[in-house]
Structure formats: C-alpha cells, structure tokens
C-alpha cells in the first residue's frame, strides 16, 4: 500500500443503504456459522462436510437474506417496546 492510498478517503455508500447492507452482512456471517455447525454435526469433520458446506451455506443465505429484510422492521418495533431509549432512562 502506498502512502497516497492511506491518506485518500474511502468512498462509502450513502446512509440510505444501511437498511440493506446491515442485513446483507448479518445474513452472510450468521448463515456461514450456522450452516458450518449444522454440516459438521450432520456429517462429522470430513472432506464430505467441507464439500457440502458451501452448498449448505448458499442455500441458507438465499433464505436468510430476504427473511431478514422482511422481519427486521418487526424486530425493531418489538425491541422498541421492550428496551427503554436513553431519554427514558
């Protein structure tokens, strides 16, 4: 990395994309971990498990990402009912 790369600010997406990027990243991480655990539990630590895991992860991510997009607004409302805001003390 050259010194000019460090000083140059990185371009970022506009804030309006946060509602899509957050569930996108969350769904990738969560499905990666959960599908890995499930695959290892079902097949044991083996080459078959390593070969099966990417397919399991891909399928679970295809379901998880749209599910998060639909469910996240409801979850935010439920959390707001349960958790006090800083001004509510």
Digit-coded pLDDT (tens) for 58-80: 999 999 999 999 999 999 999 99
In a domain, 7, yes or no: no
In a domain, 12, yes or no: no
In a domain, 14, yes or no: no
Nearest-angstrom CA–CA distance, 5 and 14? 21
* Total tally of structural domains belonging to the chain: 1
- Of the CA atoms within 13 Å of residue 41, those in its CB half-sphere come to 7
In a domain, 55, yes or no: yes
In a domain, 74, yes or no: yes
In the prediction, which pLDDT does 7 show? 74
Longest dimension (CA), the chain: 54
In a domain, 9, yes or no: no
Q: Are 60 and 27 in contact (CB under 8 A)?
A: no
Nearest-angstrom CA–CA distance, 66 and 8? 35
Residue-number span of the structural domain to which 59 is assigned: 20-88
State the pLDDT confidence band at 88, using cuts at 50, 70 and 90.
low
In a domain, 46, yes or no: yes
In the prediction, which pLDDT does 85 show? 85
In the prediction, which pLDDT does 1 show? 57
């Amino acid at each position: 990395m050259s010194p000019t790369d460090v000083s140059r600010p990185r371009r970022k997406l506009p804030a309006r994309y946060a509602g899509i990027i957050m569930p996108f990243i969350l769904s990738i991480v969560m499905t990666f971990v959960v599908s890995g655990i499930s695959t290892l539990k079902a097949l044991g630590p083996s080459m078959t498990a390593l070969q099966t895991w990417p397919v399991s992860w891909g399928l679970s991510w295809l379901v998880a990402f749209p599910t998060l997009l639909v469910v996240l607004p409801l979850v935010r409302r439920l959390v707001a009912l349960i958790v006090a805001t800083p001004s509510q003390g």
